[in-house]
């Protein structure tokens, strides 16, 4: 079973191959943490990475509390870095079977 660091590294490599520019990793505030902050063209993308190898889908571990934390942290990042314009939240699922990328889950 891979650990979270390995999963995040694989997710970063995957996103880079898709043309994303990685801006930050493990960005932390009092509101929470975002695994990867990236740029996809003009859009800022906040990426939550989930990994697992069991029968339970890793994405099932994302609850409402996590969603709110991601949203607050993303907004704080935008304000702190004086960024305006399009932004979104993506999820990347890393399992032994491969990597799945779910784009534009929400922001706002």
Q: Residue 22's pLDDT is what?
A: 98
pLDDT at 54 over 90: no
pLDDT at 68 over 90: no
Instruction: Please state the rounded mean pLDDT for residues 50-62.
Output: 66
pLDDT at 79 over 90: yes
Q: Residue 1's pLDDT is what?
A: 57
The answer for residues whose C-beta is within 8 angstroms of residue 77's C-beta and 6 or more apart is 24, 27, 29, 34, 37, 44, 46, 83
The pLDDT mean for the chain works out to 87
Beta bridge partners of 34: 27
β-strand pairing of 33-40 with 21-28:
antiparallel
pLDDT at 30 over 80: yes
Domain borders along the chain are 4-106
Q: Which CATH architecture has domain 4-106?
A: 3-Layer(aba) Sandwich (3.40)
């Amino acid at each position: 079973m891979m650990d979270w660091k390995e999963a995040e590294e694989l997710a970063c490599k995957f996103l880079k191959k898709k043309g994303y520019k990685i801006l930050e990793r493990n960005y932390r505030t009092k509101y929470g943490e975002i695994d990867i902050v990236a740029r996809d063209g003009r859009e800022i993308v906040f990426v939550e990475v989930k990994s697992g190898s069991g029968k339970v889908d890793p994405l099932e571990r994302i609850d409402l509390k996590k969603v709110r934390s991601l949203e607050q942290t993303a907004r704080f990042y935008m304000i702190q870095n004086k960024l305006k314009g399009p932004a979104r939240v993506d999820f990347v699922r890393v399992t032994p079977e491969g990597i799945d990328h779910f784009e534009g889950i929400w922001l706002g």
